[in-house]
């Protein structure tokens, strides 16, 4: 039995390149006059997708048309309502006999910006001409990495002295794709401080586009950057900073707990999506964050997510966490992301009677196996006022995502305010994180990335202010799901706007997320010894220590780093805040670092409780109340 032939010319493309394309279909069966053919580009028209051609004359650029038997056929543009991909329909003006060609031309058209082997283009055929398309023929074209543009070095942020670690070097084109497309004879020189004299490494560019460098180590504590130098172009590339400690009990892991990718839709292909996060984005952990609605996450989609998360989770390589987003009543419940500590858990839908409120969810779940992360708390439609804050489940809060920061209001100096016009999301001061902290809520900080689902849908096409996708750093004992989840519960984490900025904050030797009290440490009532550091990926413009929601100290900066020791010797009773709960008066501190390129990092807070009370340490509020009573 003869088979139809589908041929692409050219048969391969470089990512993002503009060219003339021909898709030649040689039919194996008779197609009568009036046959309709639907050519699906599998493109949604996003900046990274295959460029959508226009229905123009073939004499213009980026035009699409077809030819058969020396006759030109105009295209009609259509859109698949389910997949939202663009397609073009043609109607045969003459019959097409077996062995004859039907050719689609696309002139001066740009290829997609992502690498893909055997990239498919589907041709659906309806011989009856009624638009009833069933089976399809498929053209395949390889999209390869473009010319070498940059070298990306993936290295750990914290290492211990004389402890060996591995580094991965990615050779990337201008779009971030792996590539080996470089001039012949290109060599890369590797160096870093304290490199042993008998080592002189010269790296070739492998066909895979990446190379692993094992067993590097530093002899002395300090701050380092691995350097690569292209010996042909003389260009230099540096890794993010690496801090070498005398000995470290914790390691620093980078990832994302909430976010989508502009390249791959997680709902369409969760396997490719997780692989992209692990390999292309070089994240060490990632949590899924689909929305709970049946329309966005059907039962089958959730089943696939559960399966792939379990398969991708691998200790010491990539931690995959199962999670979803749930939108409740504004102010009282708000938007939050639920994270599970284990696999094979159900999605809790707002429309189900058993999970239609936070109180029901908290009552039927174990706080040791689930986290509820309030997200975008200052968005008007997603606001959460923290009045019903649950300290067991809400251990961390999302202080930032690509649509803005919920740290404080724009008037109070928010560096990334939530700003939207008529079609966007406005700021709601009720959800400010600093206000919640001042009232006694206690949580660590995490960051989210891009999102165009649920309440975020439509923001990309609106006048909403948009910022870089954020990242979360977790300080944990091991690179495992159990260890990272435990670290989140202990608030041993911090947030950045996407750069791998290293941040450390300690009070009396206790790190971020800690709760101290004057009962076990009486000296804290008179003096809090605060130490810390921040190491940027570019020069710093500001580093401030926040105390009780206000700037307590502006820290001295030396280019891309700051290291400090501060003694806060104000008596704790004069500065302590009175919580609305039954907790004792307290003070909290956190670090906010800003780079010259605009990127920011927020450390999680540290709290000090005034629990050893005496007549000389009565809080100002209670002292005023006592005076009024006496009068």
Per-residue pLDDT, 627? 33
24 neighbors 115 (Cβ within 8 angstroms): no
Per-residue pLDDT, 482? 97
Burial call 253-270: b when 16+ CB within 10 Å, e when fewer: bbbbbbbbbbbbbbbeeb
Helix ranges (DSSP H) in 59-214: none
Name the nearest CA neighbour of 211 among 180, 176, 173, 242. Answer: 180
* Boundary of a domain, candidates 123, 144, 165: 144
Examine the domain organization and report whether 25 and 137 are in the same domain.
Answer: yes
Per-residue pLDDT, 80? 77
Examine the domain organization and report whether 138 and 170 are in the same domain.
Answer: no
Examine the domain organization and report whether 66 and 185 are in the same domain.
Answer: no
* Boundary of a domain, candidates 100, 126, 144: 144
342 neighbors 482 (Cβ within 8 angstroms): no
CATH code for the domain in which residue 107 is found:
2.60.40.1530
Q: Answer yes or no: is 113 within a domain.
A: yes
Examine the domain organization and report whether 111 and 202 are in the same domain.
Answer: no
d(CA 579, CA 21): 67
Per-residue pLDDT, 196? 54
Per-residue pLDDT, 202? 87
Q: Answer yes or no: is 256 within a domain.
A: no
Q: SS3 of 564, please?
A: strand
Examine the domain organization and report whether 10 and 119 are in the same domain.
Answer: yes
Name the nearest CA neighbour of 37 among 140, 137, 139, 141. Answer: 137
The percentage of residues in the chain with a pLDDT greater than 90, rounded to a whole number, is 81
User: Which residues are CB-contacts of 535 (< 8 A; sequence separation ≥ 6)?
Assistant: 223, 241, 243, 501, 502, 560, 561
Q: Answer yes or no: is 425 within a domain.
A: no
Name the nearest CA neighbour of 494 among 454, 533, 439, 455. Answer: 533
Question: Cα 445 to the chain's mean position, in Å?
Answer: 15
Per-residue pLDDT, 195? 55
d(CA 9, CA 627): 89
Q: Answer yes or no: is 598 within a domain.
A: yes
* pLDDT < 50: residue spans in the chain: 1, 614-617, 620, 623-624, 626-631
Q: Answer yes or no: is 133 within a domain.
A: yes
d(CA 417, CA 464): 10
CATH code for the domain in which residue 199 is found:
2.60.40.1930
Per-residue pLDDT, 494? 98
Backbone phi, psi, residue 411, to 5°? -65, -30
Residue 458, number of CB atoms within 10 A of its CB: 12
Per-residue pLDDT, 438? 96
Per-residue pLDDT, 193? 61
d(CA 104, CA 364): 58
Q: Answer yes or no: is 238 within a domain.
A: yes
Question: What is the DSSP secondary structure assignment for residue 380, as one 8-state letter?
Answer: T
d(CA 514, CA 238): 34
Alpha carbon separation from 586 to 289, 617, 624 (Å, rounded): 34, 13, 18
Residue written as token pair 């701050």: 223
d(CA 543, CA 563): 10
User: Which residues are CB-contacts of 545 (< 8 A; sequence separation ≥ 6)?
Assistant: 530, 532, 551, 552, 553, 555, 564, 566, 589, 590, 591
Residue 467, number of CB atoms within 10 A of its CB: 21
* CA dihedral angle for residue 273, residue 279, residue 283, residue 289, rounded to 10 degrees: 10
In terms of residue numbers, what domain contains 202?
150-248
Examine the domain organization and report whether 15 and 139 are in the same domain.
Answer: yes
Per-residue pLDDT, 583? 85
Question: What is the tens place of the pLDDT at every residue in 391-431?
Answer: 999 999 999 999 999 999 999 999 999 998 778 899 999 99
Give pTM, 2 decimals.
0.90
d(CA 43, CA 50): 6
Examine the domain organization and report whether 157 and 138 are in the same domain.
Answer: no
Examine the domain organization and report whether 115 and 161 are in the same domain.
Answer: no
477 neighbors 158 (Cβ within 8 angstroms): no
Examine the domain organization and report whether 139 and 229 are in the same domain.
Answer: no
Residue written as token pair 């976010």: 259
Examine the domain organization and report whether 139 and 159 are in the same domain.
Answer: no
State both tokens at 136: 């399809």
Q: Answer yes or no: is 479 within a domain.
A: no
d(CA 434, CA 235): 44
Q: Answer yes or no: is 315 within a domain.
A: no
- Tally of structural domains, the chain: 3
Examine the domain organization and report whether 158 and 138 are in the same domain.
Answer: no
Question: What is the tens place of the pLDDT at every residue in 512-526?
Answer: 999 999 999 999 999
- HEC assignment per residue over 77-98: EEECCCCCCEEEEEECCCCECC
Residue 119, number of CB atoms within 10 A of its CB: 19
Examine the domain organization and report whether 51 and 11 are in the same domain.
Answer: yes
* Boundary of a domain, candidates 117, 144, 171: 144
State both tokens at 482: 């159990």
63 neighbors 42 (Cβ within 8 angstroms): no
Helix ranges (DSSP H) in 474-531: 481-489
Backbone phi, psi, residue 401, to 5°? -145, -175
């Amino acid at each position: 039995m003869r088979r139809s032939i589908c041929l692409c010319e050219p048969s391969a493309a470089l990512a993002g390149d503009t060219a003339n394309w021909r898709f030649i279909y040689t039919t194996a069966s008779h197609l009568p006059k009036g046959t309709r053919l639907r050519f699906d580009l599998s493109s949604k028209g996003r900046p990274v997708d295959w460029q959508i051609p226009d229905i123009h004359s073939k004499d213009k650029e980026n035009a699409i048309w077809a030819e058969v038997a020396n006759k030109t056929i105009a295209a009609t543009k259509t859109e698949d309502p389910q997949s939202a991909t663009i397609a073009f329909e043609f109607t045969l003006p003459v019959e097409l006999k077996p062995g004859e060609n039907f050719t689609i031309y696309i002139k001066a058209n740009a290829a997609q910006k992502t690498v893909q082997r055997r990239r498919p283009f589907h041709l659906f055929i309806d011989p009856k001409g009624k638009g009833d398309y069933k089976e399809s023929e498929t053209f395949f074209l390889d999209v390869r990495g473009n010319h070498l543009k940059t070298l990306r070095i993936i290295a750990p942020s914290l290492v211990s002295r004389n402890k060996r670690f591995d580094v991965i070097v990615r050779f990337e084109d201008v779009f971030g794709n792996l590539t080996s497309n470089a001039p012949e004879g290109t060599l890369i020189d590797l160096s870093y401080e304290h490199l042993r004299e008998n080592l002189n490494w010269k790296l070739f560019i492998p066909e895979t586009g990446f190379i692993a460098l094992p067993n590097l180590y530093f002899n002395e504590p300090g701050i380092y950057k691995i350097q690569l130098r292209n010996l042909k172009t003389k260009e230099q590339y540096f890794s993010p900073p690496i801090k070498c400690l005398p000995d470290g009990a914790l390691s620093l892991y980078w990832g994302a707990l909430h976010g989508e990718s502009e390249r791959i839709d997680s709902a369409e292909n969760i396997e490719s999506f997780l692989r992209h996060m692990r390999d292309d984005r070089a994240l060490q952990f990632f949590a899924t964050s689909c929305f709970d609605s049946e329309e966005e996450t059907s039962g089958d989609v959730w089943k696939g997510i559960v399966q792939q998360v379990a398969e991708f989770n691998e200790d010491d390589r990539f931690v995959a966490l199962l999670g979803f987003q749930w939108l409740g009543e504004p102010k009282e419940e708000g938007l939050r992301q639920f994270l599970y500590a284990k696999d094979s858990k159900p999605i809790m839908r707002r429309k189900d009677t058993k999970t239609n409120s936070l109180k029901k969810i908290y009552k039927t779940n174990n706080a040791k196996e689930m986290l509820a992360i309030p997200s975008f708390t200052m968005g008007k439609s997603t606001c959460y006022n923290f009045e019903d804050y649950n300290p067991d489940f809400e251990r961390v809060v999302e202080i930032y995502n690509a649509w803005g920061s919920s740290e404080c209001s724009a008037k109070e100096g928010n560096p990334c305010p939530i700003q939207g016009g008529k079609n966007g999301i406005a700021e709601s001061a009720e959800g400010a994180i600093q206000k919640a902290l001042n009232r006694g809520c206690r949580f660590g900080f995490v960051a989210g990335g891009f999102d165009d689902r649920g309440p975020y849908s439509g923001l990309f096409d609106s006048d909403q202010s948009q910022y870089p996708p954020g990242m979360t750093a977790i300080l944990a004992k091991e690179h495992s799901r159990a260890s990272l989840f435990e670290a989140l519960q202990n608030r041993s984490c911090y947030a950045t706007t996407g750069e791998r900025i290293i941040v450390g904050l300690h009070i009396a030797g206790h790190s971020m997320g800690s709760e101290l009290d004057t009962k076990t440490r009486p000296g804290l009532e008179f003096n809090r010894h605060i130490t810390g550091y921040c190491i940027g990926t570019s020069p710093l413009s500001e580093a401030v220590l926040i105390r009780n929601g206000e700037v307590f100290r502006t820290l001295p900066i030396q280019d891309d780093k700051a290291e400090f020791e501060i003694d806060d010797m104000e008596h704790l009773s004069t500065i302590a805040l009175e919580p609305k709960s039954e907790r004792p008066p307290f003070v909290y501190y956190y670090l906010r670092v800003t780079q010259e390129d605009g990127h920011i990092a927020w450390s999680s807070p540290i709290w000090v409780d005034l629990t050893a009370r005496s007549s000389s340490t009565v809080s100002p509020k209670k002292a005023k109340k006592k005076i009024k009573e006496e009068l």
